[in-house]
Amino acid sequence: MNALTDIVRALSAGASADSLPTSLFGLPDQAPHERVLLAADPQTGLKAILAVHSTARGPAFGGCRFWSYDNELAALNDALRLSQGMSLKNALAQLPFGGGKAVIIKPAGSFDRPALFAAFGRAVQSLDGAYITAEDVGTTTADMLGMQAHTRFVSGIPREGAFGGDPSPKTAYGVFVSIDEGVKRVLGRQSLDGVRVALQGLGAVGWHLAEFLHKAGAQLVVADVNAEKVQRAQAELGATAVGVNEILAVQADVLAPCALGAVLNGSSIPAIQAKLIAGAANNQLATVADGDALQARGITYLPDYLVNAGGIISVAREYRNEGEESQVMAEVGQIRGRVAELLERVRIGGLTPAREADTWARSLLVKPAA
């Protein structure tokens, strides 16, 4: 069953259009996407959705997610949400790129991974540079490296004697400086020493973030579906472990969601005890109204596409063959200043951080000055 069939069947069953998570062209109440490509290759099992949200600032740039979805409509919805987020992220990061994202539906059973990503590379190439891909959840530098034979529109690849490769440490560093700035401005504390941070997810980005926080003196409470990662965090970082169903509601100063999206919703928000939220996961708010609910409870939410832009900064500079490690880390560190600016805009304008960041980012969705 494909995404269009899913929508038609849902409507035939009596669902209202408003109840569906997407249209075929974009998200409800948002500008339509410029282009959405459904790419299938029966030989390899590839089913991919490549979503180009905006090329106003330049070619759409965003990673490729490899995931098991409940159905194809869920994959389409994820691609549309993620690609729109990339437009906002790239704009706030002042990159000369628009927003795009791809999702590959993980095949059931065994499959030839290199062949599947080769087919995906050919799909990327077919867009002739309108979309540039890189790593995301479920994909690796090896996947990107293998795609190079099939498309030149790929980044996040280790290069001998040059800057590039895994962007996850840069993503983590951007979140770290955001937390540090937020702790100063929201909690009124001058350092992270003794600050209790609840970290949901110890994947590639989450683990690097945990290391940054530990080095700064933060007290970590962690949860992950991978028990070995949790045990490692306990042994190496002195972390306290809780269950994955408990982490959002634990007693903490800061909550850092670093797993999947939509974890901040009507069910979770009433139980959150942290006063500051900043994490690496994309699309943490289930709806923009959930940002309002957080603010009403006195919880400051730093939007994910503002704080987690370190990865796209890294792969964008690699793709343009610009910079080196120290320069890119310094650029990622500039996220701190944008966090400070957002909180000042919120203070003056009275909007919630989620709504203020959205307004700010959309004002930047224009071609950058030469």
Catalytic residues: 101
User: Are 107 and 116 within 8 A, CB to CB?
Assistant: yes
In the block, which residue shows the tokens 């200043």? 337
**Burial, 270: exposed, middle or buried (Cβ in 10 Å; 0-12, 13-18, 19+)?**
exposed
Q: Residue 351 and residue 370: Cα distance in Å, rounded?
A: 32
Strands 240-241 and 46-54: unpaired
**For 242, phi and psi rounded to 5 degrees?**
-135, 170
At 280, which amino acid appears?
Answer: A
Q: Residue 32 and residue 35: Cα distance in Å, rounded?
A: 9
CA distances from 191 to 85, 89, 275 (A): 30, 27, 16
Strands 35-41 and 46-54: antiparallel
At 22, which amino acid appears?
Answer: T
